[in-house]
Structure 1
Amino acid sequence: MSLFKKMLASVGIGSAQVDARMEEDSFVPGDLVKGEVHITGGDVAQDIDEIYMYVITHYEREHQDKKVKEECTLLKYRLSERISLAPKEHVVLPFSFTLPYETPLTMGRQPVYLRTGLDIKNALDPGDSDFIEVRPHPLMSKVLDAIQSIGFQLYKVDCEHNRRLGRVYPFVQEFEFRPVGPLRSRIEELEAIFFLGADGLEILLEVDKRARGFLGVLEEAFNLDERYVRFRLDNADLSRSTSEIAHHIERLILSQIR
């Protein structure tokens, strides 16, 4: 019976089980993620070589004129090295790590989740996945509110493969806005990309001008109608009003479409 149980455990039947329990499930990038991993032994003793947690998200990439989804590991955190687990034994391991500043926001259908797993030789590794909410950092919220206050509506948020603009990871999260105010006759689209760090937020805006006349059509054909502008907010800017930041953004946008 013992050999039979070992055979079953090797394919995941009667094997050890893992369950990650977080203190919170909603964060902003840079927050501390804390909790416990509960491990319960199966029908037979098993040696666990490693216990790990991954922070996972997805992004889209163009491949042969089609968009395909790619998985990206934002962080790998090791809780423990080798441990021996007796049958039905219950082990609790605390964990604590910082959510990367580059973690995308879970706006739209963008997933971010923690994957917890046990590395067991000659066995199907048991695992557990837990989705989390990633909210905008206060500086991001300031910018998003400011852009919408000057007549733009957020209509799409997604993560796209971009080796040129991606820094730590091979993608960027794009926030796409359409004009609904006075600038709708002059701007086709406004796109924002955030680069958050411990000391502040860098913002890249792409202004897509609306084609006007023959020259405008030529600009659009050669992508010359897209203008880029960068600016930065530090943590001290959290005390600035949204209207003040909106005025600054509006001036930057107007400087690109004159």
Structure 2
Amino acid sequence: MISKMLAHIGYGGTTIQTLLDNEATDLGGTLCGRMIIQAGAVDQEVTGIAAELVTEVKIEGSDTRVRENRCIANYRLADRIALRAGEQRDLPFAIDLPLHTPVALGRKCAPVWLHTLLDLPLAVDAADEDPLVINPAPVQIDTLNAMREIGYELVKSDAEYRPHWGGPHGFVQEFEFRPAHGTDSLPHPEVELVFQPDGDGGFALLMQLDRAAKNISDTMVQGTGTGDDWQRIPLPGKLQGPGQRAIVHLLTPLLIDER
């Protein structure tokens, strides 16, 4: 009786540990691993195992700036499991990473982690958290290198709250660029880019120039419908993209030649 009471308040109860096959996973790929479930001192029933992919999102108001944890995607990994006292279960899992998952690009990038939750009725739920490294897609790496070739360096890549055009999750990862050292003659002191999933397995590139910059006028650039000065640039080639050289040719007229 005492063991059951302690299990209900979290002492000597069931625990869960998540073991990832690889800490780093490619964007759009599959995250694989195992859940080690260790039963406690008494028999317990698990009513479900769920996982959330989580990031930290920056939310700015008129005079405030806060950071909140936001769910990128959630997954149902297992249903009802009956555990005997002391029993251990080893359950494999595989989850697909959505394209709006923030990637590890730059020194200051949005963190991503996996939160695994074991649902225990009439007891304290067991949980585990594991940090993740999400490798960028080739088109994102090529775009970063193209910006560097043009003369801009990546400063940071926060996840920003964008409820109107960030999809159902309400945020986007914004990549902020500034002129590299020795390139002060560039016309825009700041450029922000967003890789927006295009619904066809690839991205469109959203660009915002410093507000002091001139208006863009180019047939390659289409309005985003976001209600602000972001511009939409199609990127062919899905996750592979068109290649660094093609991206340089695409962006140079928008960033330099307009002078």
Q: Quick one: distance in 2 between partners of 1:245 and 1:63?
A: 34
Q: In structure 2, how many angstroms separate the alpha carbons of the residues matched to 1:204 and 1:240?
A: 16
- Structure 1 range deviating more: 70-79 or 38-47: 70-79
How many residue pairs get aligned? The number is: 242
* SS of match in other structure, 1:252: helix
Question: Contact 1:151 / 1:183 at 8 angstroms: preserved in 2?
Answer: no
For each residue in 1:113-164, what CA deviation from the matched residue of structure 2 results, as whole angstroms up to 9, or x when unmatched?
Answer: 1111110111110111111101211111111110111000111211111123
Seen in structure 2, the aligned counterparts of structure 1 residues 44 and 239 have a Cα distance that, compared at 3 Å, is closer
Write the deviation string for residues 61-100 of structure 1: whole angstroms up to 9, x where unpaired: 1257221122211121112111111111011111112011
User: 1:125-164 alignment to 2 at 5 Å?
Assistant: 125-164=125-164
Which residue does 2:165 correspond to in 1? 165
Residue 193 (1) aligns with residue 157 (2): no
Give SS of 1:235's match: coil
- What CA distance in whole angstroms lies between the structure 2 residues aligned with 1:139 and 1:211? 26
Gaps of 5+ in 1: 213-225
1-side partners of 2:241 and 2:205: how far apart? Answer: 18
1:221 aligns to what?
Answer: none
How far, CA to CA, are the matches of 2:229 and 2:46 in structure 1?
Answer: 54
Shift of 1:239: 7.4
Aligned equivalent of 1:89 = 87
**Is 1:38 aligned with 2:36?**
yes
CA-to-partner distance for each residue in 1:5-38, whole Å, 9 max, x for gaps?
1111112110111111121111122101111111
With over 3 angstroms needed to count, the CA separation of the structure-2 counterparts of 1:127 and 1:162, relative to structure 1, is same
CA contact (8 A) 1:188 1:209 kept: no
Instruction: Pick the structure with greater CA Rg.
Output: 1
Partners in 2 of 1:239 and 1:29 — Cα distance?
A: 14
TM-score scaled to structure 1, two decimals? Answer: 0.85
Distance 2:36 2:100 in 1: 28
Task: Output the CA distance in 1 between the equivalents of 2:91 and 2:186.
Answer: 58
Could you say what secondary structure the match of 2:210 adopts?
Answer: strand
Contact 2:191 2:208 in 1 (8 A): yes
| Residue in structure 1 matched with residue 72 of structure 2 by the alignment | 74
- Give, in whole Å, the separation in 2 of the partners of 1:33 and 1:229: 32
* Structure 1 SS opposite 2:54: strand
Change (3 A) 1:55 1:156: same
Structure 1 residues 110 and 208: CA distance shift in structure 2, 3 A = same
AA matched with 1:19:
Q
**Structure 2 residue 63 is matched with structure 1 residue 65:** yes
Paired position in structure 2 for 1:123: 123
Residue equivalent to 1:243: 245
Query: Scaled by the length of structure 2, what TM-score is found?
Result: 0.85
Judging changes above 3 Å, is the alpha-carbon distance between structure 1 residues 79 and 111 closer, same or farther for their aligned structure 2 residues?
same
**Separation in structure 1 between the aligned mates of residue 232 and residue 203 of structure 2, nearest angstrom:** 11
Any idea what SS the aligned residue of 1:65 has? coil
Alpha carbon RMSD of aligned pairs, Å? 2.3
Larger proportion of helix: 1
Report the Cα offset of residue 211 of structure 1: 7.1
Please state whether the residue corresponding to 2:32 is helix, strand or coil. strand
